[in-house]
Chain A
Amino acid sequence: MWEQIRVNKRNSVILLGLMGAVLCGLGFLLGFAFGGGPEAGWVGIFVAACIWVVMMMVSLFSGDQILLASSRAKPVTEEVHPQLFNVVEEMTIAANLPKMPAVYIINDPAPNAFATGRNPQHASVAVTAGLLARLNRDELQGVIAHEISHILHRDILYVTVAGVMLGAVVLLSQVFFRGMFYSAWGGRRYSSRSRENGGGAQVLIMILAIFAAILAPLFAQILYFSLSRKREYLADAGAVRLTRYPEGLAGALEKIAGTELSMESANKVTAPMYIANPFRGRKAVNLFSTHPPIEERIRILRAMSHGAGFKDYNQAFEQVTHRVGVIPPSAVGSEDSIGIRQGALPTAEEAAVKHPQHQIGDIIRKVNGFRFISCSCGLRLKLPPDYNGKTIRCPRCKRTLNI
């Protein structure tokens, strides 16, 4: 287990180093191409390194806040959704985390979830309203356990920092292409100078720079995505270990896979954070896939019939995919066997609440400042904050209601 965390931390450092190198290489070539000499290339490296350091600092200290804000996640209190808090608390204890992560709800009908933060002391878990509406307690527990596993495996820092770095590489190559565009308009000064220096080398560097500017973002993206796929399997295995109930997560993934909704609040950089790819309609698995195919993950979980440990997950993984297991040998070897528990029957409360969607909708409306009015005919009216009228006519019984 600790070995695995160490491997993860080392991979993260290697990845960040590589991304830094890509960034600096790009900076050098761009500086060379625009400044017209190696000395300008060093300035390029310096600028790229500065960007790298600033981005690292920003992502370390407020990366989680940036990602939560860009996903339009809202912090919630226990009163808003007691069951969610209960499950997060339970999994915090099971995973032996030092502190319960902050809980956020994303106002999105597509079911999904992610975790972010710097370390287990500063972590957040965000789930969408659509997820809360569709899953039962066991399934919600599976998803939360998957996210808590990401926190436990230190994946959250990696995804947060790597995401911000990827943004930096993309930004720099954008700057290059725009720079090229503008220097083509007013670039007389540069071109005359390059003729003095002997144009051949200059042209070669320029071509190299163009290639680098095209390839660097792709390269950085492949690095980022390939590592994030393996981490999904590991988090699945961790989730089963924490819940001792593979069917919970399998059922949740099945429900997530069953929806045709794309997430409005996700983008290319935040996509690898989510438990399942937030974009629909891209089936093929390739270098750019952020997630392993969800059907395969479900099949692996369903193939776990003997126990809920890492060893059992590894066996199921090999059986389903015919590839070498994803779990590091040290984590498999040193483990006591963990049994699978029975699934819980739906509680009376769950059976009674027919459409949790509306409850969730009401919660989000309350957060967003809606006013609730009940007409004496039994109809409930929910008025948005931008509804200006003083009165409203009940559409059912035609009474005029005061707001």
Chain B
Amino acid sequence: MQCPVCQTPMIAIELDEVETDYCPECQGIWLDAGELEILLEDADQTRRLLDSFRPAETTETARLCPICLKSMQKVYVEPSNKAVLIDRCLKSHGLWFDRGELMQVLQQGAFDEQGKVAKLLREMYPPEE
């Protein structure tokens, strides 16, 4: 699978039963359909997050879904104070998060009360000094 940004092969990384596809070049994350649910460990929360997407009008160039190679839709993630712009495959193959975006979404959306997922992500992607 190619990174939608760098077009280089992505690698899969797994820690404590949580798996994501990761681009070693740009440090973006691709979440396959269903992986978000594993990450949040809750179907209702996942539904809430997925329902909160709002199509965005933006001039950013569309990226291609690494699975079906069709253009992905830019969506704002809500509820949050500062909406995060992510890419969603229209055929529900998955979601693309640029570096750090996944963490922003989870922290701002108050989806993770215990901060367990965020902690895991912070370990996986510590902020570079």
Contacts and interface: CB of A to CB of B under 8 A. Distances in A.
Interface of A: 109, 133, 260-262, 264, 354-355, 357-358, 361, 365, 370, 378-384, 386-388, 392-393, 395-396
B19 interface: yes
B34 A357 contact: yes
Contacts of B123: 396
Contacts of B15: 378-380, 396
A379 B24 contact: no
Contacts of A380: 13-15
Interface of chain A, main secondary structure? loop
Nearest to A387: B9
Contact of A395 (B13, B38, B67): B13
Contact of A261 (B22, B33, B38, B124): B33
Given A357-B38, A379-B14, A382-B14, A395 B9 contact: no
A262 B9 CA distance: 25
B124 A396 contact: yes
Given A109-B34, A357-B34, A382-B13, A392 B19 contact: no
Interface residues of B, number: 28
Contacts of B14: 358, 379-380, 382
B27 interface: yes
B118 to A, nearest CB: 15
Given A395-B124, A396-B124, A384 B13 contact: no
Contacts of B13: 379-382, 395-396
Nearest to A385: B9
5 contacts: A357-B38, A378-B15, A383-B11, A392-B11, A396-B15
A387 B8 CA distance: 8
A109 B91 CA distance: 12
Given A358-B14, A383-B11, A387-B9, A395 B125 contact: yes
Interface string B4-42: 000001111111110100101001000011110010000
A382 B11 contact: yes
Contacts of B32: 109
B98 to A, nearest CB: 15
A395 B22 contact: yes
Contacts of B12: 361, 365, 370, 381-382
B24 A358 contact: no
B92 A261 contact: yes
Contacts of A357: 34-35, 38
A383 B17 CA distance: 17
B122 to A, nearest CB: 10
Contacts of A264: 67-68
Contact of A260 (B17, B19, B35, B92): B92
Nearest to B23: A395
A131 to B, nearest CB: 13
Contact of A358 (B1, B19, B125, B126): B19
A379 B19 CA distance: 10
A361 B33 CA distance: 13
Contact of B11 (A109, A133, A354, A387): A387
With most chain A CB atoms within 10 A of its CB, the pick from B11, B13, B34, B68 is B11
Interface in B69-113: 91-93
Nearest to B124: A396
Contacts of B92: 260-261
Given A264-B68, A379-B15, A386 B9 contact: yes
Contacts of B124: 379, 395-396
A214 B10 CA distance: 46
A395 B124 CA distance: 6
Given A354-B17, A358-B14, A378-B16, 20 more contacts: A261-B91, A261-B93, A355-B19, A357-B38, A361-B12, A370-B12, A379-B13, A380-B15, A381-B12, A381-B13, A382-B11, A383-B9, A384-B9, A384-B11, A388-B9, A393-B24, A395-B22, A395-B124, A395-B125, A396-B123
Contacts of B67: 264
A396 B120 CA distance: 10
Nearest to A358: B19
Contacts of A384: 1, 9-11
Contacts of A260: 92
B121 to A, nearest CB: 10
Nearest to B41: A354
A393 B11 CA distance: 11
Nearest to A382: B12
Contacts of B34: 109, 133, 357
